[in-house]
Amino acid sequence: MAAKKIASTENVLTTPERVKSGVPGLDELLDGGIPKGSLVVVSGDPGSGKTVLCMQYLYYGAKYHNEPGVYISLEEEVDELVNMASYFGWNLREQMDKGMLEIENIELYDFDKLRNTIETLTEKLGAKRVIIDPGVIFRLYFEKELDARKRILSLGRMLKRLNVTSIITNEISLDNSSSLFGLEEYVADGVILMYHTKLQEKFIRGTGILKMRNTKISENLHPVRIDREGVHILAGQQLFEDVK
């Protein structure tokens, strides 16, 4: 009797399920979307659009994809975020009333309590998307960098264990960067940079994908536009082309 052939799966590539961001142009740069279950760090200077992008991502998932979301704000009050979102036509309060969104302003300067709160809210809502904004506040929680590195990396691993597709924002200045104690290098699946570039007498918003695991990414820098409909990434243009 001839032996049965066993198909080898060793070299079979699997395509990860993608989460649609709701940000026009971004998914085009990410081979169709963010890989499900990823932890993404969005770094940028003030006014680059980080918070708007996060709200857009969360609202889009809740309203159009039936994916509950948790927004952990370490700075802005809930009402401030709701009012900001209304400018773009996003009714966060409606989604909160439907049990699709949970927005919490947390002022605990105890990292373990913060971590437990995030885990509790995520499990309670059955969240699929999580935002922590701004992650730079983490620096106020610790005196020793080694302790900060351990705890922040543990937060990243917890988010991955919860199987949510999450974004943590990080604020950088125009002339230097500031790492979230190794989160970008060791735990984050993706890093997206949003920033301003000075060109002659004006600033131009731009974005670049520094990394995204299991994804063919754009290696170019692209212009960003923010209008009454939110963040738009001009995926078909490179940064220093004329933006019309």
Residue 5: inside a domain: no
Q: Could you list the residue range(s) of the whole structural domain that residue 89 is in?
A: 18-233
CATH number for the domain spanning 39: value is 3.40.50.300
The Cα–Cα gap between 69 and 95 comes to: 10
Q: Kindly report, residue by residue over 112-170, the tens digit of the pLDDT.
A: 888 999 999 999 999 999 999 988 777 777 777 778 788 888 899 999 999 999 999 98
* 102: β partners: 70
The Cα–Cα gap between 229 and 149 comes to: 37
* 204: β partners: 197
Percentage helix, strand, coil for the chain under 3-state DSSP, each rounded to 5: 30, 25, 40
Residue 6: inside a domain: no
Whole-model pTM: value is: 0.88
Residue 27: inside a domain: yes
Per-residue pLDDT at 141: 75
Residue 80: inside a domain: yes
Single-letter code of the amino acid located at 22: G
Q: Kindly report, residue by residue over 87-100, the tens digit of the pLDDT.
A: 999 999 999 999 99
The Cα–Cα gap between 37 and 49 comes to: 23
Which residue positions in the chain have pLDDT lower than 70? 1-13, 108, 173-182, 185, 241-244
Residue 178: inside a domain: yes
Per-residue pLDDT at 181: 62
b/e per residue, 99-122, with b = 16+ CB within 10 A?
A: ebbbbeebeeeebeebbebbeebb
In total, how many domains does the chain have?
Answer: 1
Residue 50: inside a domain: yes
Neighbours of 174 (CB within 10 A): 12
Residue 149: inside a domain: yes
Residue 240: inside a domain: no
The Cα–Cα gap between 184 and 41 comes to: 7
b/e per residue, 149-165, with b = 16+ CB within 10 A?
A: bebbbebbebbbebebb
Q: Which of 208, 121, 200 is CA-nearest to residue 164?
A: 121
